[in-house]
Amino acid sequence: MIPGGGQPNMQQLLQQAQKMQQDLANAQEELARTEVDGQAGGGLVKATVTGAGELRALVIDPKAVDPEDTETLADLIVAAVQAANENAQALQQQKLGPLAQGLGGGIPGLPF
């Protein structure tokens, strides 16, 4: 039951929505600055992505480079980038999940 005749306080609702929007923007900025890693081949290939999923760095150990077998190297690169992106998605869930729940469910365009 809403006190005062059943009408919600529109000013209060707007302030809450603005705060949630600001919190979401702050969390997204933090994700864009935070870097997470993924690796493959026991660390022969390491990928670094931002919390937003942007690939920032790729390190390939010389032991992973075999001119006769570039397919394995390509597979290791893909696996390392995928692992880094999985870690970025987990970070997104950790940072943005509580904000999305506060909005009463998922936010369109976000992966949860």
Closest CA to 76 of 103, 106, 43: 43
pTM summary value:
0.68
Q: What is the mean pLDDT of the chain?
A: 83
Per the CB < 8 A criterion, the answer to whether 46 and 38 are in contact is yes
Determine what percent of the chain is predicted with pLDDT higher than 70. 80
Q: What is the pLDDT of residue 103?
A: 54
Quote the pLDDT of residue 46. Answer: 97
Give the pLDDT of residue 108.
53
37 phi and psi angles, rounded to 5 deg: -115, 160
For 46-97, the pLDDT digits (tens) are: 999 998 889 999 999 999 999 999 999 999 999 999 999 999 999 888 888 7
* Confidence (pLDDT) at 5: 56
